[in-house]
Amino acid sequence: MKKVFLFATIAALSLGACKQKTETTKLSGVLGEDAPTAVQIQIPDLKIDTTIAVADGNFEVDLPVDAKTLGRIAIGDRIAQFVPDGSALKIDASALEGDKLVEVASDNPNSVQSKYNAMNEWLNKFFDSYYAKMNSGTMPSEEEQDAIVKEYVDYLKGIVKDNKDNALAVAAVEGLRGQIEPSEMEEVLSSLSPALDEVSAIADTKTLLKAQKATAAGQKFIDFEATQPDGSIKKLSDYVGKGKYVLVDFWASWCGPCKREIPNIKDTYNKLKGDKFNVLSVAVWDKPEDTVKAAVEHGVVWDQIINAGQTPTDLYGIEGIPHLILFGPDGSIVARGESLRGEDMAQTIASYIK
């Protein structure tokens, strides 16, 4: 069922008259001679998933107005995002070549869509510059990398500050995930308009933040279980809280960074294994047969839980893998995240073991 949001009558004109906001967002497109026969439009928060026919290389559709949410249109292999903000939106893909991005233009330069385009333009330039620096042959110093991250974070925080009740804030929050500490994210979320609470991306971020706070350093472990390829059940509590420090590596066979981290885990295991320390690999978001094959290929000889799916990442608020958590002898969380990764892993973890 399509959901329509109506906004209060605003925008007093110079003569004192009032103009009511439109109740529809008109989205049209000029796609050219090689246009597909139809385009697909999705607006998940409005429960819209529809196919619109293309006639003579053109299409047009009326959509509800909701400046808080992002829509998605698929034109063949090309994808574009848009904000159904009530302005007239138009796509001109008739002369696009190669992998050039499709832009959704608005007839109002001050519309949320126009601001969304400006944000994307800034982000595209930022990432072009970032990748150029990273691929230049000379890695930026740690201070330079910190400055790059700060520029990105500060820009998105500014977007949130200026757009607390629309889709730009939603997009900015998604961009900040994984880049700022939970306490910072909590501040960002608390600054948003309550109107955004119903947007799925914001609700998901709040759920993630809650899980991260519940599993921060100092908190007790949360148990989970998974059915193994042989039909047996393994639990986190089979390994954690048994009197040893346990480094738990959440990984998957398809994850390149996960596999690149295995040599560091192997080195740590060989140096520290014994009465005080153990390692456990937990396979998430993966097929059991792929996990088993990759574990053999990469020399994973320590304990494993296979086929854990999404449960652990939901419980621990894990956004990306590999993700490492060090549990203490009593099962409390000692440390987690990026600080445990890298060639200094063994030395870092040794500093925690008493």
49-77 per-position pLDDT tens digit? 999 999 999 999 999 999 999 999 999 88
DSSP secondary structure string, 292-331? HHHHHHTT--SEEE---TTHHHHHHT--SSSEEEEE-TTS
Instruction: Work out the mean pLDDT of the chain and round it to a whole number.
Output: 90
pLDDT in the model for residue 96: 65
Q: With 70 as the cut, is the pLDDT of residue 343 above it? A: yes
Domain residue limits, the chain: 10-108, 117-214, 225-350
Answer whether 10-108 and 225-350 agree in fold.
Answer: no
pLDDT in the model for residue 97: 62
What CATH fold (topology level) applies to the domain 225-350? Glutaredoxin (3.40.30)
Question: Can you read off the two tokens belonging to residue 344?
Answer: 């200094």
Residue 225, sorted as left (phi over 0), alpha (psi -120 to 50) or beta, turns out to be: beta
pLDDT category at 156 given cuts 50, 70, 90 is very high
Q: Kindly report, residue by residue over 161-198, the tens digit of the pLDDT.
A: 999 999 999 999 999 998 898 899 999 999 999 999 99
CATH architecture for segment(s) 10-108: Sandwich (2.60)
**More confident position, 179 or 252:** 252
Q: Kindly report, residue by residue over 89-129, the tens digit of the pLDDT.
A: 999 988 766 556 789 999 999 999 999 999 999 999 999 99
Q: Kindly report, residue by residue over 12-55, the tens digit of the pLDDT.
A: 222 333 334 568 999 999 998 888 999 999 999 999 999 999 99
pLDDT in the model for residue 1: 31
pLDDT in the model for residue 141: 86
**From CA 279, how far away is CA 272, in angstroms rounded?**
9
**6, amino acid identity:** L
pLDDT in the model for residue 99: 59
